[in-house]
Structure 1
């Protein structure tokens, strides 16, 4: 079970034109925004990644506005964990479990999550918050990650799992995100 005291969120490369052409892009962006808001309500550490933003463009405005109090970490490797600044941010967070969202499931999300698994972090892939240009590649990335030890979760499932109790002060804010 997820615990807000040892869980963080990694937002992978929801950028530029690519974010607008992945499968179900509007829903992906909407769900990622809800996930980010939920993580903020719960006080989770967030690591925000951008793949070569000078070439691919910045994170879409719907998400960058939510993340404006922090700085995106620029990466050039598909595996975010291979970038020293990303690795340092993950280690500084000092948590055990990472929720992972973003694009593309079979490339940057996959490689970043695999490195986290190899470093003995628990990875929970937020299935309705990841995408690829094709549904086949999204499913391929999901299947391969699950076969290597990642767990699947969904937007609602992980947020309610983190809140745990309808009497918690965060519950109403989370409920309003999901409605």
Structure 2
């Protein structure tokens, strides 16, 4: 998947929606927006206004003091989604793991401009002990039970996701 593909955008939007519906804390980072541009409008629209947003120059979020402080707390699991898998996502996940945090990379909510870079990064992350998951498995883990009040809405949203070539 490429960063602007409809498949990628749909999955990352669903992940953001599910996190909001289930009160899962979210923070957004933007790599050098002055040079690379703002957050894509399709993603910005999917996020509540209350989501903290950090601009950064470091590739790893852990190397930025404000982001690192925002990640502190009693949660030991951090889920990562975004771009570029082989740069910012990779370095952040490896740094989180090195700090004893459980880093999860949501593979279908991450992308690189070159598919080979995305695949290589996922292979490396897996070898280095970072956990890999999909949007669908993550949302169902968050729900835990088909009787959850948000189950029908989120299950319908998952079912309506556009299929990718790798979904067949």
Q: 1:165 aligns with which of 145, 161, 165?
A: 145
Conserved in 2, the CA contact under 8 Å of 1:23 and 1:131?
Answer: yes
SS at match of 2:39: coil
Q: 2:82 aligns with which of 102, 112, 121?
A: 102
CA distance in 2, matches of 1:62, 1:121: 30
Structure 1 residue runs without a partner (length 5+): 1-20
Conserved in 2, the CA contact under 8 Å of 1:23 and 1:135?
Answer: no
Shift of 1:84: 0.6
CA spacing shift, 1:41–1:26, aligned 2, 3 Å: same
Provide TM-score, normalisation by structure 1.
0.83
Match of 1:124 in 2: 104
Aligned length: 158
Match of 1:77 in 2: 58
CA RMSD of aligned residues (A): 1.5
Conserved in 1, the CA contact under 8 Å of 2:26 and 2:52?
Answer: no
Shift of 1:132: 0.6
Q: 1:154 aligns with which of 130, 134, 143?
A: 134
Verify: 1:61 aligned to 2:41, yes or no: yes
Moved over 6 A (4+): none
Provide TM-score, normalisation by structure 2.
0.89
SS at match of 1:46: coil
Match of 1:51 in 2: 31
SS at match of 1:166: coil
Structure 2 residue runs without a partner (length 5+): 160-168
SS at match of 1:165: coil
